[in-house]
Chain A
């Protein structure tokens, strides 16, 4: 069934992506549903192996098959279910209406092609730009992503660019066709903090100017706080909490979210306070415990947690949590959002 609201750009329903490996079945993404409005920035946070990158690759239908497969679900994007499109139709969406930036700018560029060829490729494919015209447009794009002397550098090869500049070139490539949705998968993780700040500001400004929605995948809670409107927290393949950024940080409900926030040292915090790490080890997707996947590390488990996996349920307005025993907060005077409004 097609979703009704036109304002929604993307709606993911019950997405399941599994990998059939020699060691066994890995449910990398399990029953994931979320939506994204026009012009909105959604943060997806979680630690390695939580399924955040696989979710993104599933949206782009870039899951390597075998071993991976999107088992079920719907991905509604601009009024169509992407999972029902033919490979050819999907090719016209990818890089055109929807684009992606990856973590390693070193490995996602082809070392034997010029930057110009690679950045101009989406223009040639999707907008039938003639190669000479595409090179001129490419020069302009490189200037827009603030590569110094961008026009002169279209003939350069990736190794002549620094890590930060390569990622700028990736942003230029991704935004070449003014996509409606940009997925950035750990776009700055490999980069230094000053370069990270430059690139994130650049991405924010460019997506705002183009009206592009952004999915920002990261493990960094600070980056999400700075840029995201809404946040999905993932653990062991599932979304465990979904909320507006302000609500999530001021009143996290899932014990995992609470634990994550308590484990990072913050610049604005009293240095004397000890960090409160989450106990135990990250989950092994091949041997998930019965019931809630977080239960072996959880600080507030109850009987049912071992038996049954909790589903996402509405905890308050725009705030969903998948937990049998979520953290509670006393009601503030002056209503639900007195703190954050």
Chain B
């Protein structure tokens, strides 16, 4: 097991007033989230906007200070490390962001972007070594090293994402958080990046936490999948189990909402549409957070928060009173 997350919670304060800011409330973006990822595995994390999936990714890397819970990476509890130790460990954990343009410094060339982590961690001795390594990294992500002196705006969206991936790879990490890495890209380019991530995983034995809202993409790349709703994981299972027999009503609704690119299939499909919208995160519903929209709501869903429990199938967990 490479990464273990136990009861992770993340809170954001909400301030009011322009000058004398006073803390008014707290958004509990992530609450008691637990999961693990084995070495070489890809865990997909899906959910709609505001469900807390990005906060999970960031706090796993400790780019965000969690309000509670533990993150254990390669046997080390990240919360117990001092700054220096954390920095050492971060070499093994990297992140790829959604928007490849805003995550690159416009005044740095591709080589500087890719080479910066090498510089920070002091991973080269000579100028030549720096050049060789950055060249090699660009090649590894399918870019021509001849383009190394260009600036981000000279690259297309897909190429920029490749630069972002090369940067993440520069320190030879074992684990990468991919936060919506393809959702800003055109369809034909998405597939290129997905294939690249898969190839790199095989070649470098990488472990991914793949965060996305596109259920088909997540299904394609993940070994196991966790579904989040309003800060909690509602279902987690192996890919096939989750997509073939989703147990949580929210997972079922999500899957039904995704149109399949085949008119014949679509014509025969029931278009189950769940009503309502995601609840206000400042004003969370009591009990199960999905109950205001749930088609199978029962009395106790309004009062009691459903705990994670194993379903019939092995390694299939669901947090729902009626499912299973």
- A residues near B, CB below 8 A? 47-48, 162, 164-165, 192-198, 201, 219-226, 228, 245-246, 249-250, 259-268, 271, 274-279, 281-282, 340
21 A-B residue pairs with Cβ-Cβ distance under 8 Å, sorted by A, are A193-B215, A194-B253, A195-B277, A196-B257, A197-B271, A222-B259, A249-B264, A250-B264, A264-B187, A264-B190, A264-B216, A265-B191, A265-B194, A267-B216, A267-B219, A267-B258, A271-B240, A275-B194, A277-B189, A278-B191, A281-B156
Which residues of A have CB within 8 Å of B258? 193, 222, 267
The answer to whether A263 touches B263, judged by C-beta atoms less than 8 angstroms apart, is no
A-B pairs under 8 A by CB, number: 133
CA distance A93 to B263 in the complex (A): 33
For A45, the closest partner residue in chain B by CB is B187
The answer to whether B49 touches A225, judged by C-beta atoms less than 8 angstroms apart, is no
For B266, the closest partner residue in chain A by CB is A226
Contact residue among B240, B243, B257, B265 (Cβ-Cβ distance under 8 Å from A197): B257
The answer to whether B262 touches A265, judged by C-beta atoms less than 8 angstroms apart, is no
The answer to whether B260 touches A222, judged by C-beta atoms less than 8 angstroms apart, is yes
CA distance A340 to B268 in the complex (A): 12
CA distance A192 to B277 in the complex (A): 10
A193-B258, A266-B216 given. 18 additional CB < 8 A pairs?
A193-B48, A195-B48, A197-B256, A222-B261, A223-B259, A228-B263, A245-B263, A249-B263, A263-B188, A264-B261, A265-B191, A265-B219, A267-B216, A267-B258, A277-B189, A281-B158, A281-B189, A282-B188
CA distance A125 to B240 in the complex (A): 55
The answer to whether B261 touches A261, judged by C-beta atoms less than 8 angstroms apart, is yes
**Nearest CB of chain A from residue B262's CB, rounded to whole Å:** 6
Asked if B254 is at the interface (CB within 8 A of a chain A CB), the reply is yes
Contact residue among A165, A197, A277, A281 (Cβ-Cβ distance under 8 Å from B195): A277
CA distance A197 to B275 in the complex (A): 10
The answer to whether A266 touches B156, judged by C-beta atoms less than 8 angstroms apart, is no
B 204-224 binary contact with A (CB < 8 Å = 1; else 0)? 000000000101110110000
Contact residue among A165, A223, A246, A267 (Cβ-Cβ distance under 8 Å from B264): A246
Which residues of A have CB within 8 Å of B49? 192
CA distance A211 to B215 in the complex (A): 33
The answer to whether B213 touches A192, judged by C-beta atoms less than 8 angstroms apart, is yes
Which among B188, B256, B273 has the greatest number of chain A C-beta atoms within 10 A? B188
Asked if B239 is at the interface (CB within 8 A of a chain A CB), the reply is yes
CA distance A162 to B186 in the complex (A): 26
Contact residue among A164, A196, A268 (Cβ-Cβ distance under 8 Å from B260): A268
**Nearest CB of chain B from residue A192's CB, rounded to whole Å:** 4
Which residues of A have CB within 8 Å of B216? 264-267
Which residues of A have CB within 8 Å of B159? 281
The answer to whether B191 touches A275, judged by C-beta atoms less than 8 angstroms apart, is yes
The answer to whether A277 touches B188, judged by C-beta atoms less than 8 angstroms apart, is yes
CA distance A276 to B192 in the complex (A): 8
Which residues of A have CB within 8 Å of B220? 265, 271, 275
Contact residue among B188, B243, B254, B255 (Cβ-Cβ distance under 8 Å from A259): B188
CA distance A193 to B48 in the complex (A): 7
**Nearest CB of chain A from residue B162's CB, rounded to whole Å:** 11
Contact residue among B190, B240, B254, B265 (Cβ-Cβ distance under 8 Å from A194): B254
The answer to whether A278 touches B188, judged by C-beta atoms less than 8 angstroms apart, is yes
The answer to whether A193 touches B188, judged by C-beta atoms less than 8 angstroms apart, is no
**Nearest CB of chain A from residue B46's CB, rounded to whole Å:** 10
CA distance A264 to B255 in the complex (A): 16
Asked if B11 is at the interface (CB within 8 A of a chain A CB), the reply is no
For B280, the closest partner residue in chain A by CB is A162
**Nearest CB of chain B from residue A269's CB, rounded to whole Å:** 8
Asked if B278 is at the interface (CB within 8 A of a chain A CB), the reply is yes
Asked if B140 is at the interface (CB within 8 A of a chain A CB), the reply is no
Q: Given known contacts A222-B261, A268-B260, is B266 in contact with A277 (CB within 8 Å)? A: no
**Nearest CB of chain A from residue B243's CB, rounded to whole Å:** 7
The answer to whether B264 touches A340, judged by C-beta atoms less than 8 angstroms apart, is yes
The answer to whether B191 touches A194, judged by C-beta atoms less than 8 angstroms apart, is no
**Nearest CB of chain B from residue A180's CB, rounded to whole Å:** 25
The answer to whether A225 touches B259, judged by C-beta atoms less than 8 angstroms apart, is yes
Which residues of B have CB within 8 Å of A220? 259
For A224, the closest partner residue in chain B by CB is B261
Which residues of A have CB within 8 Å of B260? 222, 225-226, 266-268
Asked if B274 is at the interface (CB within 8 A of a chain A CB), the reply is yes
Which residues of A have CB within 8 Å of B255? 267
For B261, the closest partner residue in chain A by CB is A221
Contact residue among A225, A246, A263, A282 (Cβ-Cβ distance under 8 Å from B191): A263
CA distance A162 to B215 in the complex (A): 23
CA distance A92 to B107 in the complex (A): 49
Which residues of B have CB within 8 Å of A162? 277
**Nearest CB of chain A from residue B103's CB, rounded to whole Å:** 19
The answer to whether B191 touches A276, judged by C-beta atoms less than 8 angstroms apart, is yes
CA distance A245 to B266 in the complex (A): 11
Which among A192, A198, A250 has the greatest number of chain B C-beta atoms within 10 A? A192
Contact residue among A164, A201, A249, A275 (Cβ-Cβ distance under 8 Å from B261): A249
Q: Given known contacts A197-B257, A266-B216, is B262 in contact with A219 (CB within 8 Å)? A: no
**Nearest CB of chain B from residue A21's CB, rounded to whole Å:** 16
Which residues of B have CB within 8 Å of A194? 48, 253-254, 257, 273-274
CA distance A265 to B239 in the complex (A): 14
CA distance A2 to B263 in the complex (A): 34
CA distance A48 to B159 in the complex (A): 15
Q: Which 4 A-B pairs have the closest CB atoms?
A: A222-B259, A277-B191, A263-B191, A265-B220
The answer to whether B48 touches A192, judged by C-beta atoms less than 8 angstroms apart, is yes
Which residues of A have CB within 8 Å of B195? 274-275, 277
The answer to whether B189 touches A282, judged by C-beta atoms less than 8 angstroms apart, is yes
